[in-house]
Structure 1
């Protein structure tokens, strides 16, 4: 089997099926003419080899990617002036994609991802346009009479890694010009005086980023660095948490400095355990400097190696080795950080230097448990979160002054609370624990960013908007390079209806961490959606769905974005995929009533209405499991109160027919029991709805109708369909 690196041009005719369906003979003759007089001569002129013709398409190979791009440009320029008398709807137009990649050669044909990428790029091109890959762009820049527009990284179907994509500018006057894709201008909002000077500054910054592409390189005027995962040389994978912890601490510390952009953990840890070509890593992460190192523990001895590489020259500008007793790990980290900061040419302010000088704890055993907690919490899985709380709790017990242990305990608890993992901690106790742990962390270390970020999220859910904004802005002030702080600010500003400020925050987070976690990326997608950037929302939420395909919420939110983009078939398909994941389960986020409660903390009712309307257009039902009933059978007002208050209701839950019982006092105090659920609540009648309010669902009322159906009654709300009879 032969393999080779080659330039591939893929082309097809726009709307070929419609053209053939309307005027088959005429279309075929005109296509033959275009190939004979325009396409084939251009291929011959630029020394290409036609691998195959496919009805409306062609696959062409070139020894030079410059020739491939020049050929594509020649074809499109000649096609633009062809058939001027033909109506636009009947014109033959090509789309072309060009890639430089590895191919498999067999029986005169070529196969592999190199070909597949070219075909996917052709699909991204506009009629009469050309899209090329980043590998092709790197070789053709300054060598062809075309310009370029960067479209950023794209996820292409059946291609495992994102691909940099550039659109060709055919105007020869723009030769070698590289433009960024402009975004839709950010909507402006009125800033209330209570938000303060920091929010005003954010609003002013929004003006500067109206056309900024968050996929573009970090600002060249600032120092940019990525700290690659330190290798564990101990020979035991169980010690990964030590090398990971040292890497993460270094990232966290540098992110506290205002003069440097530090790539966040999720993006750099994508390189863990893989052979890394440093030039590729620097290009993908868009940084000037890379730090790489290793950790080796042998008994009570610890060796840490590290070096800083300036990727503009490829030379190491600093390197050191630290051989000490394991008990000196904090001193080693302090020396390592200080030397690295100096090598980067950074000069911390007095306040920043004070923050950096603080050791997280003097208790090595507590630090060990803390690192273990970090490792397990990062999975995001139920068991990992539960185990992490136990590790953090042990660290807090061993060192009650360990502020970061309390802060990360609070962060993990918030994740449990937001995910409704009631099997670990019920909603109300989780909320209480998160507040308490974050408060303890701040008392121990007022300069920590993460507790303020956590408080901001919880405060906005509680509709304490001004407090939430102040907390989130404080988090960003303390950790300007802290991605979690930027995401928290974006989340808070979004729900406070400050869309422009939310956009600034999430775009900053995406620059600092191109590989955001799916949960954080969903927040970014929601921000783009409410700003009116449907293309950005779709792209972001598609990546969220692809990164976590087992989470139904991500499919359903993507369905809303598709609906807003008028892509209704895609919206319905995404919704069906999301609902299939929770079919027959008691999972939330499966009906409009669920989403109304989950997003009830939007300050502006129009924001919530936009999402609900999009989900309704995608086909999400009003009630769980698509329940519907004839409104003529509905029990209303006084009759509803008389039916349920002071009575015991016995019946079955849908789906599955699980037995359940609901006991309601005359005062509305109620207790619900089934095989899998047991809770107390306050029930009351609000006009024609039966409402229950408990510590679940963030303490928000959950209201729904009651219908008199054959053999009894049915009560439906956001998470329950209860078929019952009154037994007393």
Structure 2
């Protein structure tokens, strides 16, 4: 058994910008081009005395004994990769992040906060760029003939303290090529949809009370939901637009990264029983302000204020929408503001990564339906909580909790037959927990008919397609989900579903790559680890399979292959049989 050691190293994290989009457009061609680019990158890492550690698909994690070697390798690699891209229609652009810190090394792989920091720095870089931490900067600034741009302190996901970041460029390079200042031509930006497209950024909480943050976020969530009901609009999912929360944003950059023409931003002030919403609509390409207004009212008027700001935005960018769609967008989720308050609090923690967050979300949503027994969305979100408990192995009493999930999901559908968010979450819960895949799929199809821009519906629908033995359609659905929410913090869940689709298609190597990418984002996400074990087992990668199996049993010691159908509701017996065989080869107990 490999022992764990600690070491101070320079961590080099690289990832392909827009990989999901590229794969969705041309899977075979992208894999071919990526293989060629990886050969260039791997050779340069070796020539600078680096060692490749964790790697999966489009991502590379490498260790260097020196920050100078790591940064010099990054700059040379980006130059070589840019040359390889020259004249080609498909651009494979890497983003690179570098940090110096203490890491844990086990079996050749790297773990720890320092690895996470390097990965977050990589995410801050533009396509073809490099972003380094202040620790790395201090070690190279007087040695390498490079220029650095201070990007300030950056608050990044899952890292408590802000990280000071620096962009790197060769001396004499244009400012536009520095990380953080990418031009559209160099950024690998998403193409605009063939209809008006919009992202709603988190509104500023002007109340002076941090406890009201959930309220401001909830209002924006509802505005996004209302806008999403318009079939004439392309609306970015909440999880992606909220990655800009708490940051000073460049609207043009937001437009490029999310692939939208318009951006809505605003603020909310809640004082006593009064509420003020302000909003401004901006053309992301030019930065021009198209519309701005403020809306005042009592707290009891909160839904009316949301309606007014939504209608104003729609009037500015899509004035010919059907009146029926406008009326449907005005439907209130509940008449009880106290129930709505609990719902918003639950919404703020429901997709959290821990069991404690899940239990807190359950408590809050149960309070909401205790106050308003007819609150459809709260019922649906309770079903969602139990679905997450099932996926993560958190259920204390599987039989009892599964029955409760079924009851909540069916009640949600009964109360919210015309609400896409309700139908998609309830439908997936019925398929995943109650083992009713046909009924679940029908509900998700109805959700997509009501709101074709709901990222979660495409995600859940894609996963169910994989369960039903339709892998190609599943991959298409999931690629569309990732386009609707390209910066989604839960992207690992969509990547895991894509891994399952490739498993069903018998593409085991590709399945492993997608699942390992997801597992790096959430190392405790059992579905991703399980797919690594079975796909690696079926493809003869036994060391990789056994490593995943060991991790599975650390998280859930009760797992047995004979109980696989409790976890993976495959429709076709042959798919379930292949899945079980891969787990047996990985060494999991019968």
Q: Cα gap change, 1:484/1:576 in structure 2, threshold over 3 Å: closer, same or farther?
A: same
Greater C-alpha radius of gyration: 1
Alignment-derived partner of residue 598 in structure 1: 567
Q: Cα gap change, 1:408/1:460 in structure 2, threshold over 3 Å: closer, same or farther?
A: closer
Alignment of 1:480-491 (within 5 A): 480-491=452-463
Q: 1:385 aligns with which of 346, 354, 358?
A: 358
Counterpart check, 1:217 vs 2:217: no
Q: Aligned equivalents of 1:346 and 1:415: distance in 2? A: 39
SS in 1 for 2:190: coil
Alignment-derived partner of residue 621 in structure 1: 587
SS in 2 for 1:132: helix
Alignment-derived partner of residue 205 in structure 2: 232
Q: Cα gap change, 1:342/1:536 in structure 2, threshold over 3 Å: closer, same or farther?
A: farther
Counterpart check, 1:307 vs 2:248: no
Alignment-derived partner of residue 366 in structure 1: 339
How much does 1:463 deviate?
5.2
Q: 1:504 aligns with which of 455, 473, 476?
A: 476
Q: Aligned equivalents of 1:55 and 1:360: distance in 2? A: 57
**1:522-574: per-residue Cα shift (whole Å, max 9, x none)?**
22221233235556534432331121123454334234445567655544544
Q: Which runs of 5+ in 1 are unaligned?
A: 1-9, 11-52, 60-108, 123-129, 138-144, 167-214, 624-717, 719-728
Alignment-derived partner of residue 549 in structure 1: 523
Alignment-derived partner of residue 449 in structure 1: 420
How much does 1:228 deviate?
1.2
Alignment-derived partner of residue 336 in structure 1: 309
Q: Which runs of 4+ in 1 moved over 6 A?
A: 152-157
Q: Aligned equivalents of 1:54 and 1:265: distance in 2? A: 37
Mean alpha-carbon deviation: is it higher for 238-247 or for 283-292?
283-292
**1:337-363: per-residue Cα shift (whole Å, max 9, x none)?**
111111122533344223211111222
Q: Aligned equivalents of 2:511 and 2:92: distance in 1? A: 15
Aligned partners of 1:152 and 1:164 also within 8 Å: no
Q: Aligned equivalents of 2:580 and 2:254: distance in 1? A: 41
How much does 1:442 deviate?
2.9
Q: 1:430 aligns with which of 401, 422, 428?
A: 401
Alignment of 1:466-615 (within 5 A): 466-514=438-486, 515=488, 517=490, 518-532=492-506, 537-562=511-536, 570-579=544-553, 581-582=554-555, 587-589=557-559, 591-595=560-564, 597-599=566-568, 601-615=569-583
Q: Cα gap change, 1:541/1:216 in structure 2, threshold over 3 Å: closer, same or farther?
A: farther
**1:400-420: per-residue Cα shift (whole Å, max 9, x none)?**
332222222222233234434
Larger RCO of the pair (alpha carbons < 8 Å, separation 6+)? 2
SS in 2 for 1:149: coil
Counterpart check, 1:415 vs 2:388: yes
How much does 1:435 deviate?
2.6
Aligned partners of 1:334 and 1:357 also within 8 Å: yes
How much does 1:131 deviate?
2.1
Q: Which runs of 5+ in 2 are unaligned?
A: 1-13, 15-43, 51-65, 98-114, 129-187
Q: Cα gap change, 1:54/1:270 in structure 2, threshold over 3 Å: closer, same or farther?
A: closer
How much does 1:315 deviate?
0.9
How much does 1:495 deviate?
1.2
Q: Cα gap change, 1:381/1:120 in structure 2, threshold over 3 Å: closer, same or farther?
A: farther
Q: Aligned equivalents of 2:499 and 2:189: distance in 1? A: 18
- Number of aligned residues: 451
Aligned partners of 1:302 and 1:325 also within 8 Å: yes
Alignment-derived partner of residue 279 in structure 1: 252
Q: Aligned equivalents of 2:273 and 2:88: distance in 1? A: 59
Mean alpha-carbon deviation: is it higher for 287-296 or for 529-538?
529-538
How much does 1:473 deviate?
0.9
Aligned partners of 1:131 and 1:165 also within 8 Å: no
Q: Aligned equivalents of 2:508 and 2:76: distance in 1? A: 25
SS in 1 for 2:81: strand
Q: Cα gap change, 1:421/1:571 in structure 2, threshold over 3 Å: closer, same or farther?
A: closer
Aligned partners of 1:510 and 1:516 also within 8 Å: no
Q: Aligned equivalents of 1:491 and 1:55: distance in 2? A: 39
How much does 1:374 deviate?
1.1
Q: Aligned equivalents of 1:116 and 1:237: distance in 2? A: 43
Aligned partners of 2:254 and 2:284 also within 8 Å: no
Q: Aligned equivalents of 1:266 and 1:318: distance in 2? A: 25
Alignment-derived partner of residue 82 in structure 2: 132
Alignment-derived partner of residue 88 in structure 2: 147
Return the TM-score normalized by structure 1: 0.56
Alignment-derived partner of residue 375 in structure 2: 402
Between structures 1 and 2, the one with greater strand share: 1
How much does 1:437 deviate?
2.4
Between structures 1 and 2, the one with greater helix share: 2
How much does 1:326 deviate?
2.2
Q: Aligned equivalents of 1:331 and 1:54: distance in 2? A: 58
Aligned partners of 1:463 and 1:603 also within 8 Å: no
**1:192-230: per-residue Cα shift (whole Å, max 9, x none)?**
xxxxxxxxxxxxxxxxxxxxxxx9735531222211111
Q: Aligned equivalents of 2:588 and 2:530: distance in 1? A: 14
**1:371-400: per-residue Cα shift (whole Å, max 9, x none)?**
111113232422222222222222223223
Aligned-CA RMSD value: 3.5
SS in 1 for 2:360: helix
Return the TM-score normalized by structure 2: 0.68
